Structure 1
Amino acid sequence: MGPIDHLVTSGTFSLDGGTWDVDNNVWIVGDDREVFVIDAAHDADKIAEAVGGRTVKAVVCTHAHDDHVNQAPALADRFSAPILLNPAEKVLWDMTWPDRQPDGELADGQVITAGGIELRVLQTPGHSPGSSCLYSAELGTVFSGDTLFQGGPGATGRSYSNFDTIIESIRTTLLTLPGATTVRTGHGDATSIGDEAPHLEEWIAKGS
């Protein structure tokens, strides 16, 4: 097993009275002893199978839209692991899990470590109030949740999201990372900072 394992799970995303079918990227980061699960989506059994016999240091949530957290408690309970989430996501978390709160917080600049891999928390609000990305300089990778995709920023058309805020987060936080940094997204294909950076002005023009 490499430092990054990847699986795609399928289910639904619901907000503002609508429901959509979605495929989510679930990322498992660490070594052959201990890992983080990033964004526990849709299929707890499939994720647990990918974890195998390893210790889960934490179930890390980039944000609290239901498609990214709907299996977080199940996996946390199965592996006796804490759920970590930025506290600004509480309004969204409570829509899915009103009776179960996260066990710990993600804060900008915080460093969490599993299997010798350090992930630095980058606070990137916009898609949601407390969206977080996770950056590993050693792996040359940022796990961007739904903040940055191949081809542009995450959606900001629904409640608790803001286009100007997401653009500011991408411009000041993500696009300052090295251009070769791989962007491993919450949905769809990976990209790189260098591939996305030149398009910032286009996105701004489209969004304004």
Structure 2
Amino acid sequence: MKIIKLNGSPYDANAYLVDDSILIDVGMDARSVITELEGYIQIGDLETIILTHCHYDHTGGAGDVARASGAKIAIHKDDAPLLGNAKASASIMFGRSTPSITPDILLKGGEFFGELEIIHTPGHTPGCICLYNAHSKVLFSGDTVFQDGSFGRTDLYGGSTQQLIESIRKLTLLDVSIMYPGHGDIVEEDAGEQIKMSLMMASQFLDM
């Protein structure tokens, strides 16, 4: 499995190019992402853009990248209606208007893109997802969990403390060697243990 992390601005979400054909999240700066992509692939070779959730720092550039590449946009069905809502997409927090994004694929959870399985992990948003490759033991965790036991916030539109805890609990059942989060560093050591730490921390601080 070939994975390339694309870096936008420091406050942007991580984007990951997988096997030269799938882009997981986009970030806000489409021009920067397109330039980086063209350093690795022909832009027309991009087939699918999978958004882990509706927040603007993950989705802002998706429409422009899709138009430049012809790639289809996939997002969970529960977050699709929130893309155009300034509050629900958090674009208002970045002082931006909501982008024009029309999803081509509405996810429910359980779908596969190659060896990547879509796992519905609500809590940060209603339609948050993670992506898991059982063969490679790789998890793309979006904003559900991060390194060092961190976890996604639940105080934004559609957030749910109890759902987030249950979603993290679901992730602890996976055999994860490497975790690629929506922000911060790639976790290449003790990824499974760090997810368990996220569950412990979330249970202590959120379920009070």
TM-score interval, normalised by the smaller of the two chains: 0.7 to 0.9
**1:123-179 CA distance string (max 9 Å, x none):** 0000000001111123321111101111222011112101110010110x211111x
SS in 2 for 1:142: strand
2: CA distance, partners of 1:186 / 1:169: 16
How many residues of Structure 1 are paired with residues of Structure 2 in the alignment?
187
Long gaps (5+) in structure 1: 12-21
Letter in 2 for 1:182: I
Q: Residue 105 in 1 paired to residue 94 in 2?
A: no
Report the secondary structure of 1:27's partner residue.
strand
d(CA) in 2 for partners of 1:74, 1:134: 23
Deviation at 1:112, TM superposition (A): 0.7
Q: Which amino acid aligns with 2:113?
A: I
| Greater than 4 Å deviation, 4+ residue runs | none
Query: CA, structure 1 residues 167+35, in 2 after alignment: closer, same or farther (shift >3 Å)?
Result: same
2:189 counterpart of 1:193: no
User: Any gaps of 5 or more consecutive residues in structure 2?
Assistant: 86-97
Query: CA RMSD of the aligned region, Å?
Result: 1.8
TM-score by length of 1: 0.83
Q: Which of the residues 126, 139, 144 maps onto 1:142?
A: 139
Q: Distance in 1 between matches of 2:150 and 2:53?
A: 18
Q: Is the CA contact (8 Å cut-off) linking 1:181 and 1:194 kept in structure 2?
A: no
What is aligned with 2:90?
none
CA distance in structure 2 between the partners assigned to 1:66 and 1:205 by the alignment: 29
TM-score by length of 2: 0.83
Shift in Å, 1:198: 4.1
Query: Which residue number in structure 2 is paired with residue 124 of structure 1?
Result: 121
Identity %: 32
Contact 1:153/1:167 (<8 A) preserved: no
Q: Using the alignment, how far apart are the partners of 1:100 and 1:200 within structure 2?
A: 33
1:46 corresponding residue in structure 2 = 32
CA distance in structure 2 between the partners assigned to 1:65 and 1:199 by the alignment: 21
In the alignment, the residues of structure 1 paired with residue 55 and residue 197 of structure 2 have an alpha-carbon distance, to the nearest angstrom, of: 29
